[in-house]
Amino acid sequence: MKPKVYVTRRLPKVAWDELIEACDAELWDEEFPPPHEELLARVADKEGLLCLLTDRIDADLMDSAPNLKVISQCAVGFDNIDVAAATARGVPVGHTPGVLTDATADFAWALLMSAARRVPEAVDYVRAGKWNTWGLTVLLGQRVYGMTLGVVGMGRIGQAVAERARGFNMRILYYDAFRQPEAEERLGVEYRSLEEVLAGSDFVTLHVNLTDETRHMINARTLAMMKPTAIVINTSRGPVIDMDALYDALKAGVIVYAALDVTDPEPLPADHKLLTLSNCIINPHIASGTIATRTLMAQMAVRNLIAGLRGEALPNQVNSL
C-alpha cells in the first residue's frame, strides 16, 4: 500500500505525477490555503505533508498527526514551520534551496531597476494620457551604474544579486551574521557592519531569513541611517521591515523609494496605506515565479517527501535529527 500524504496546493503536473506514483495523495485543490483546523483534520491520518509557506505548521498539527514521518515545504524559507517542534518529534523538514536562487536574484534586480527608474509610475503616466511631449525633467530617477549596492544577507541569493551587480560596475558592501570570505574573494564584496552598509549604500537589498534577530531589522532607527536617496528592495520576508516605519520614511523623504515583493501581512490588504504612495512598488511575492523554477521547486519538494516516507535522509533537509 502506498503511504498516505496530504498536499496543500495543486503542483505542476510533472511533480504531481512523480508524487502519485509513490504516494496515495489527498490534495487541497483550492486557490486559498486550507484553514488551520481543516489542515489539522486532513493531516491526522497522513504519513507525509507537502506544504507551502502560507500554511502554519505548528506543534498542534504535528501532535494531531501521530503517523507523520516528513514535512516537505515547497519553498526555501520555512519560517511558517515550527522546526524545533518537528525536531523534538523526530520529523524531518525539507525545503527547496538553490533552484530558485537565480529567479529570485533576477527579480530583486527587476525591482531595483523599476524603482531606480520609476517604471511603474511611467507606465501609469502614459496610461493616464499625460505623455504630451518629451520633457527634460519628466519622471527623473536614480543612477544605477557605478553606484553602491548594500546586500544584507550574503547567502545564496544575496551572492547571486551581488554577482549581477558586477555587470553594473557597482561597489558592493554586505552585512551578514557570518562573514563570507569565499564571496569576498569571488565577487569583491566588502564586509561591513549593518549600520555601515545602510549608511553607505545607494541601494539596500534584503536577503535574510526571518528570525527573531531579523524581524523589523529595517525600522525607524535603521531607515534614518540610510541616504535620503536610498532605495530599499525586499525579496526576503515581509516582517524584516517594519511596514509602519517604512511608510513614514517614504512619506517624509527619509529614503526615496522602496520595492517590495514581500509584505507584512501577506497578502497586503488593498486599502493598506503603503499602496497610496507612488514611491513604493509592491508585488505579490512572485520573485521565484518562473515556470521552470516553480516546477523544479515542486519536484524537489516531492523528492524530499518521498525520501522521508522511506525513512531516508531528505536530499534537502532543514533539521538534523
Nearest C-alpha neighbor of 183 from the set 148, 201, 157, 209: 157
Shortest Å distance, C-beta 244 to ligand DGY: 22
Task: Work out which of 16, 56, 58, 77 binds ligand DGY, going by CB under 6 A.
Answer: 77
Catalytic residue among 95, 207, 237, 303: 237
**Before 267, cis peptide (omega within 30)?**
yes
3-state secondary structure of 249: helix
Q: In this structure, which long-range contacts are made by residues 182-185, counting pairs with CB atoms below 8 Å and at least 24 apart in sequence? A: 183/154, 183/159
Assigned C-alpha cell, 143: 543612477
Contact 158, 180 (CB under 8 A): no
Shortest Å distance, C-beta 76 to ligand DGY: 4
How many residues bind ligand DGY, per CB under 6 A?
6
Nearest C-alpha neighbor of 94 from the set 315, 321, 292: 315
Active site residue 266: yes
Interacting stretch for ligand DGY, rule CB under 6 A, among 9-17, 18-26, 59-67, 69-77?
69-77
Task: Work out which of 65, 75, 93, 154 binds ligand DGY, going by CB under 6 A.
Answer: 75
Interacting stretch for ligand DGY, rule CB under 6 A, among 73-81, 154-162, 301-309, 311-319?
73-81
Amino acid present at 130: K
Active site residue 285: yes
Shortest Å distance, C-beta 290 to ligand DGY: 10
Interacting stretch for ligand DGY, rule CB under 6 A, among 15-23, 70-78, 266-274, 306-314?
70-78
- How distant, in Å, are the alpha carbons of 44, 63, 93, 127 from that of 285? 30, 30, 22, 25
CA distance 232 to 198: 10
Instruction: State yes or no: residue 76 binds ligand DGY (CB under 6 A).
Output: yes
Assigned C-alpha cell, 209: 531569513
Catalytic residue among 9, 285, 294, 303: 285
Shortest Å distance, C-beta 136 to ligand DGY: 41
Active site residue 171: no
**Which residues of this chain interact with ligand DGY, rule CB under 6 A?**
53, 75-77, 100, 288
Residues belonging to the active site: 237, 266, 285
